Structure 1
Amino acid sequence: MSRRWFGYLAVATVFAIVCVLLANWQLSRKDEKAAEIALVESNYDRAPVPLGEVVPTREAFDDVHKWVPVTVTGTYLEEEQLLVRNRPRSGQPGFELLVPLQLGDGTVFIVDRGWLPTGNEHDLPDVIPSAPSGEVTVVARLKAGEPSLPGRSAAEGQIATVNLDDLQERLDVPLYTGAYGLLESETPRPTDEPPLPALKPVLDEGMHLSYAFQWFIFGILGFAFLAYAIREEYRHLNADDPDEQRRAAERERKRAAKRSDANVEDELLDGARSETVR
């Protein structure tokens, strides 16, 4: 083994380590998907509970309560509504419509009333439906706020992400910053046609397990290719060795036998085709 081959071995080892890391990353993604599916299955279709039962303070929110339906009663602050830009749905660009809901104690809970398609004007929907006026009881599914995206800008009346801390500063109200709600229903019902409701998450773990197996196989193939290259070089360097010559002759004899068998099969097939034509 020369220094060159030890270098090749080091490359194969590094390649295998990278493949293992990528495989483990795919397995962790699979576990994340499985945990998300478990939350949807356990929480999505539960009976609604009062907001205070699962979000006791404005800042509190436990991820185990994601998708839990809650009931909230208050008054929409429609003049403070905002559009969340860059929210495609089924391949069509659009917006999410956020409307603050002021509760009886003065606190505010953000309600995502649903999705609106981009209209004739590229940066706006054609119509923004009005929310119910007066006191309204909302059923909404809880979801944690989103992180800020540095460098993302938005037009007046729009935001790039649902960052609840930023919204609290923007609205200057005592806002629930632990979670917001995806609208399920409103009582009384709105007079305008409401935005499209949020879609139920797809219960699919994806191809992460398959991708993980592929990365493990790639790591093994790196060593297999190295072993093949070493064997071929060994044969080349020992071409004059009698034992190696005998082995080479035996390999050539077997290949010739296979070629002969293939030729016989081809002749038989050609004969059969000729008989069929006649």
Structure 2
Amino acid sequence: MSRYRFLLTPTWLGWLALCVLFAVACAFLAQWQIDRREQALEEINRVVSNYDEDPVPYAEVRDLYDSPSAADEWTVTTVTGEYLADDTKLVRNRAHAGSIGYEQLVPFAVSGSEDIVVVSRGWLPTDSADGSLPAYMPQPPEGEVELIMRLKPAEPAIDRDAPEGQLASVDTAEYSAEIGEDLMPGAYGLMSSEDPAPEQAPQQLTRPELDEGPHLSYSMQWYAFGLLGFLGWGYAARIHARDQDLAEAEDTQGSEEIVHRAAGVSTQDRIREARRRRRLRSGQLSDEDIEDAWSEEHLRETPEAGGEQQPGDRNLRDQELRATR
């Protein structure tokens, strides 16, 4: 562990602290992606639960158009009444099938009550010559109409001006103030069908996609990024320790180079010897080192088994044996 003592220096502790801060930031970003995935799953569950259900009479769900909850979105409703076509409005900058256009809003007076519900009849493309106007403006059916619509919560106000006859969002409070009528404040209806059907109608908005998005994979990537910071710190520490060992081996080799040259030792053997000496000092001997030390000791005790040793070699081996004992 002594070779990694440098990890306790301020420099390396500072880099470790940066890795910790980076990991914390990555964890927050990963949790943010998980939260977005949960929101997407909630929207998918609402579509699955409500979108294709049988229509419910308006009288049974009237309170939902006054103050709906998130779980009530897409509730299918059937209602009878009459369009107030003179109060038609357009909501600008509405996306549909990759294009930007308008959503046509018309108040709908419910029969047998004083309620007026905002109905979105669908999407209109912009005029090719004048982008501030829709390409066409279909009129709603006259007289009594039976509607099937899906509940959508009213949208918040947007701090953005709109031309006369248009709204920046489906803000029922602003709509009510502009036409001077009390509209159901909490929700509006997204028209699915009209009876009688008109000759021309806006394009119906597409069914919401049941796609949770890539949020789960993004969250896993952020966790991986946080872990990579520590892996990079550890890898840098290992490289630094190795460089220190090599520098130490070169110093040892330089101090003993005269002795090795006198004994006729090759450069490769000197490097191998320097690494072996480093293992001796650290006490991390390999099986080969222990076997060599044992053989050398017995060769000194029985000179007839081998040739006469050089004094320099004998001194070196004595030091190695003392290190192993």
* TM-score (normalised: structure 1): 0.83
The answer to whether the 8 Å contact 2:65/2:188 transfers is no
Q: Point out the structure with the larger helix share.
A: 2
Cα-to-partner distance string for 1:225-253 (whole Å, 9 max, x where unaligned): 11112222223334344599739x9xxxx
Structure 1 segments, 4+ long, off by >4 Å, are 242-245
For 1:57 and 1:202, the matched residues in 2 are separated by 24
For 1:211 and 1:57, the matched residues in 2 are separated by 36
The answer to whether the 8 Å contact 2:64/2:72 transfers is no
Q: Aligned to 2:63, what secondary structure does the other structure show?
A: coil
| 1:48 aligned residue | 55
| 2:203 aligned residue | 196
Q: Aligned to 2:96, what secondary structure does the other structure show?
A: coil
Q: Aligned to 2:148, what secondary structure does the other structure show?
A: strand
| 1:215-254 equivalence runs, <5 A | 215-242=222-249, 246=275
| Amino acid aligned to 1:184 | S
Q: Aligned to 2:47, what secondary structure does the other structure show?
A: helix
| 1:161-172 equivalence runs, <5 A | 161-172=169-180
CA root-mean-square deviation: 2.1
Compare relative contact order (CA 8 Å, sep 6+) and give the higher one, 1 or 2. Answer: 1
Percent identity of equivalent pairs: 41
| 1:75 aligned residue | 82
Match for residue 115 of structure 1 among 88, 109, 123: 123
For 2:19 and 2:205, the matched residues in 1 are separated by 48
| 1:260 aligned residue | none
Match for residue 155 of structure 1 among 153, 163, 172: 163
For 1:100 and 1:127, the matched residues in 2 are separated by 19
Cα-to-partner distance string for 1:86-124 (whole Å, 9 max, x where unaligned): 112222221110111012322210000000100121111
For 1:49 and 1:171, the matched residues in 2 are separated by 29
For 1:78 and 1:114, the matched residues in 2 are separated by 15
| Amino acid aligned to 2:220 | F
For the pair 1:144 / 2:153, whether they are aligned, the reply is yes
| 1:185 aligned residue | 193
The answer to whether the 8 Å contact 1:106/1:174 transfers is no
Structure with higher Rg: it is: 2
Note the C-alpha offset of 1:187: 1.3
Note the C-alpha offset of 1:42: 1.3
Note the C-alpha offset of 1:57: 6.5
| Amino acid aligned to 1:168 | S
For 1:38 and 1:57, the matched residues in 2 are separated by 18
Note the C-alpha offset of 1:208: 0.9
Match for residue 124 of structure 1 among 130, 133, 140: 133
| Amino acid aligned to 1:15 | F
Note the C-alpha offset of 1:58: 5.1
* TM-score (normalised: structure 2): 0.71
The answer to whether the 8 Å contact 1:140/1:184 transfers is yes
The answer to whether the 8 Å contact 1:39/1:66 transfers is yes
The answer to whether the 8 Å contact 2:65/2:186 transfers is yes
| 1:271 aligned residue | none
For 1:78 and 1:53, the matched residues in 2 are separated by 26
Q: Aligned to 2:81, what secondary structure does the other structure show?
A: strand
**Number of residue pairs aligned between Structure 1 and Structure 2:** 246
Note the C-alpha offset of 1:3: 1.4
The answer to whether the 8 Å contact 1:183/1:198 transfers is no
Alpha carbons of 1:241 and 1:55: their partners in 2 closer, same or farther (altered >3 Å)?
farther
Cα-to-partner distance string for 1:151-174 (whole Å, 9 max, x where unaligned): x22111111111122222222222
Q: Aligned to 2:163, what secondary structure does the other structure show?
A: coil
Match for residue 31 of structure 1 among 10, 33, 38: 38
| 1:256 aligned residue | none
- Where structure 1 has 5 or more consecutive residues not aligned to the other structure, the ranges are 250-278
Q: Aligned to 1:96, what secondary structure does the other structure show?
A: strand
The answer to whether the 8 Å contact 2:84/2:107 transfers is yes
Alpha carbons of 1:42 and 1:58: their partners in 2 closer, same or farther (altered >3 Å)?
closer
The answer to whether the 8 Å contact 1:58/1:175 transfers is no
| Amino acid aligned to 2:84 | L
Q: Aligned to 2:152, what secondary structure does the other structure show?
A: strand
